[in-house]
Amino acid sequence: MQRIRLRYTKRGRLRFTSHRDFQRAFERALRRSTVPMAYSAGFTPHPKVSYANAAPTGVASEAEYLEIGLAAARDPEALRAQLDESLPTGLDIVDAVEVRTPNFVERLEASEWQIRLAGVSEEQAAGAVEVFLAAERVEVQRLTKNGVRVFDARSAVAGMEVLPSQVDDGNDTATERTGDVRTGGPCAILRLVVRHATPAVRPDDVLSGLRATADLAPPVPAEVTRLAQGPLDEETGTVTDPLALDRAAAPAGL
């Protein structure tokens, strides 16, 4: 059995798709693309697909991962393109490698997030970030199926900063960063790196912590995008590519 690891995105309005919605769409794409899937044994065989650390509903992402098992070998890039054509725009398969190393989920040590805070100025956001990072512990509450849970949101945060409003990246995004069309006011953008810990700390938990420690309360819901997830470089505070080891382990010439 050949195994392929895929990176996919949730963009635009499709950030509101749940993980279950994506599973259904992906399984339909497998059938439409006639991918030679391997199946589990038993009375109700299922295609061998495993998902890793899916982003919450309503959150956009550039770095979601899954793994599939094939009954016949396929070129990873050709398979990626084939599946991408069968999925709706916004759910995009953007990378594929053949599995050559174990313990992939253990490599997903942290996530990098971008958070747009409409109606919040850079000065307000910078002050709140400073207060949050200076705290030794920031307790937040989350309602779970077992009741209200209290945990520390600060310990999982490896880094947080306010991005500058004027950035010349060649894509004319400077104007976009100086304001927000929903509020007609300022819009601060945070870069956040969070370690994957237990209990899991999500961006909305950090926003709750900013509200609790610095009274930062955006007038409209924040727009959250996961930019990356993978190994955490503690020295630079950056999240690196979790598929790099599989590429490095490929035989020369592939």
What are 2-24's pLDDT values in tens digits? 999 999 999 999 999 999 999 99
Sign of CA dihedral 231, 236, 238, 243: negative
- Provide, rounded to the nearest whole percent, the portion of the chain with pLDDT above 90: 81
Confidence label for 183 from pLDDT (cuts 50, 70 and 90): low
Distances (CA, A) of 135 to 128, 131, 210, 214: 11, 7, 11, 11
Residue 16 DSSP SS3: helix
Closest among 113, 3, 99, 115 to 62, alpha carbons compared? 113
Task: Please say if the pLDDT value at position 219 is more than 70.
Answer: yes
Confidence label for 166 from pLDDT (cuts 50, 70 and 90): low
Helices marked H in the chain — which ranges?
Answer: 19-32, 76-85, 104-107, 122-134, 174-178, 203-214, 244-248
* 139-144 vs 147-152, strand pairing mode: antiparallel
Closest among 63, 165, 60, 65 to 123, alpha carbons compared? 165
CB atoms inside a 10 Å sphere around CB 91: 22
Contacts of 222 (CB under 8 A, 6+ apart): 115, 116, 117, 118, 203, 204, 207
- The arithmetic mean of pLDDT across residues 116-144, rounded, is 95
The confidence score (pLDDT) of residue 147 equals 85
Give domain limits for the chain. 2-99, 108-239
- Structure pTM? 0.89
CA dist., res. 175 & res. 185, Å (int): 12
The answer to whether the CB of 65 falls within 8 A of the CB of 6 is yes
Q: Which CATH class is domain 2-99?
A: alpha beta
Task: Please say if the pLDDT value at position 173 is more than 70.
Answer: no
Residue 15 DSSP SS3: helix
